Chains A and B, each alone.
Chain A
Amino acid sequence: MMTENENNTLTLTALNRLVRDAIEEQLPMRYWVTGELSEVRSTSVGHCYIELVERNEATGELTAKARGTIWSRVYSLLRPYFMEQTGRDFGVGLKVLLQVKINFHELYGYSLDVCDIEPAYTLGDMARQRMLIIKRLTDEGVIELNKELPFPLLPKRVAVISSATAAGYGDFCDQLNNNIYGFRFGVKLFQSPMQGAKVEEGIIAALNKIAYEIDKWDVVVIIRGGGATSDLSCFDTYDLANNCAQFPLPIITGIGHQRDDTLLDMVAHTRVKTPTAAAELLIHTMLQQAERLAMLQQSIPETVKRRITDERTRISSMLQKLPLSVALMMQRQRHRLDIWEQRLQASSPERILAKGYTLTLCDGQVVRSASQLSVGKEIVTRFADGMAESKITEIEKKK
Chain B
Amino acid sequence: MQEQEYTYTTAIERLEEILQKVESGTEEIDNLYKLLKEADELIKFCRTRLYEVDEEVKSLLDSINEPQA
A296 touches B50 (CB 8 A): no
How large, as a class, is the contact surface on chain B?
A: 20 to 34
Interface string of B21-49 (1 = CB under 8 A from A): 01101010100100110010001001101
Contact partner of B23 among A297, A303, A310, CB < 8 A? A303
Given A296-B15, A296-B19, A301-B36, A184 and B51 contact (CB-CB distance below 8 Å): yes
B32 touches A289 (CB 8 A): no
B64 touches A188 (CB 8 A): yes
- Collect the chain A residues with CB atoms within 8 Å of residue B15's CB: 293, 296, 300
A interface residues, how many (CB within 8 angstroms)? 30
Is B2 interfacial (CB-CB < 8 Å)? no
- Report the tally of A-B residue pairs with Cβ distances under 8 A: 83
Least Cβ distance of B49 to chain A in Å? 6
B12 touches A300 (CB 8 A): no
Least Cβ distance of A315 to chain B in Å? 11
Interface of chain B, main secondary structure: helix
Query: Which residue on A lies nearest to B60, using beta carbons?
Result: A186
Contact partner of B9 among A153, A183, A184, CB < 8 A? A153
Q: Which of A157, A187, A293, A308 has the most CB of B within 10 A?
A: A293
Interchain CA distance A188-B53 in the complex, whole Å: 15
Give residues in B with beta carbon < 8 Å to A: 8-9, 12, 15-16, 18-19, 22-23, 25, 27, 29, 32, 35-36, 39, 43, 46-47, 49-54, 56-61, 63-64, 68
29 pairs, A vs B, C-beta closer than 8 Å: A153-B9, A154-B8, A154-B49, A157-B56, A182-B51, A184-B51, A186-B57, A186-B59, A189-B64, A191-B68, A216-B56, A216-B60, A286-B50, A289-B8, A290-B50, A292-B12, A296-B15, A296-B19, A299-B19, A300-B19, A300-B35, A300-B36, A300-B39, A303-B19, A303-B22, A303-B23, A307-B32, A310-B25, A311-B29
